[in-house]
Amino acid sequence: MLDLDRMPTHVAIIMDGNGRWAKQHGVPRLAGHNAGMEAMKEIVRRASDLGIRYLTVYAFSTENWKRSQEEVSGIFKLLVKFVKLDLDELDEKNVKVMTLGDYSVIPSAARKSLEKTLAQTANNTGLQFNIAINYGGRDEITRAVNRIAEEIRTGSLEGEIDEETISRYLYTGDECGNVPDPDLIIRTSGEERLSNFLLWQCAYSEFVFTDKLWPDFTPEVFEEMIQIYQNRDRRYGGRK
Ligand code: IPE
Ligand code: IPE
Ligand code: MG
């Protein structure tokens, strides 16, 4: 049973396996991404119903541009579809949508839809749903270092650079309401790697992996993975 008093504050998900799911079903890769969007919708709903404060999903990495132009533009079209169809429901559920990553370079239709969603849900106070788009952990850290260097140069930042300063300049920092580090990182599809996701923030995250392909991921599996997390012993380098 889920212990509702010990829910993770922040759950992050590497939604992987859409392509393999499509192959398994003998359909085009984009049909796999479409099924993946449906799965994502269900998980946002359940996360909100469970009272989770932050949910972050890895939707498109800085490396995913290496894929075919057809796949890349298809993924962004699906994102527009998701955002348009589900905006009102997200809003009714008091979900606040935010992004991690430089989304200014994505196709303009997707960018506009996204901006509308960000604006419409900006004052919501329920689940904060962060969508990582054109996100890479190394890019995030490099950008933070450059921003810090620039502010030191112009004199708007002074004193010692500590961990807190670095955290504030990441995508998850000031621009995103200073999201706490993820308690739990889930990756689907049997791969057990980070693929450049939340490199700084995952210092003490718990990792839970499943062989399920992302489109087969259900709210029930989500809850099972939270239960696994609840049975972990987090020590943060201290004594047991
Ligand atoms: C995850 O599924 C979605 C994105 C990376 C955009 P994949 O498309 O990586 O699926 P596989 O790994 O090829 O099965
Ligand atoms: C990670 O999945 C990125 C997203 C889920 C958006 P990939 O499928 O791109 O990662 P690799 O290539 O297997 O490491
Ligand atoms: Mg993959």
79 close to ligand 2 (CB < 6 Angstrom): no
64 close to ligand 2 (CB < 6 Angstrom): yes
The catalytic residues are 16, 64
- 3-state per-residue secondary structure call for the chain: CCCHHHCCCEEEEECCCHHHHHHHHCCCHHHHHHHHHHHHHHHHHHHHHCCCCEEEEEEEECCHHHCCHHHHHHHHHHHHHHHHHHHHHHHHCCCEEEEECCHHHCCHHHHHHHHHHHHHHCCCCCCEEEEEEEECHHHHHHHHHHHHHHHHHHCCCCCCCCHHHHHHHCCCCHHHCCCCCCCEEEECCCCCCCCCCCCCCCCCCEEEECCCCHHHCCHHHHHHHHHHHHCCCCCCCCCC
From the CA of 193, which ligand is nearest? 2
Residues with CB under 6 A from ligand 1: 15-20, 60, 64, 75, 189
Ligand 1 center from residue 113 Cα (angstroms):
23
**For 4-135+181-230, CATH number?**
3.40.1180.10
The per-residue pLDDT for 240 is 67
pTM equals 0.98
Please tell me the residue having the least CA distance from ligand 1 atom 3: 16
* Tens digit of each residue's pLDDT, the chain (240 residues): 899 999 999 999 999 999 999 999 999 999 999 999 999 999 999 999 999 999 999 999 999 999 999 999 999 999 989 888 888 899 999 999 999 999 999 999 999 999 999 999 999 999 999 999 999 999 999 999 999 999 999 999 998 999 999 999 999 999 999 999 999 999 999 999 999 999 999 999 999 999 999 999 999 999 999 999 999 999 999 986
Per-domain residue ranges of the chain: 4-135+181-230
The ligand 1 atom nearest the CA atom of 15:
1
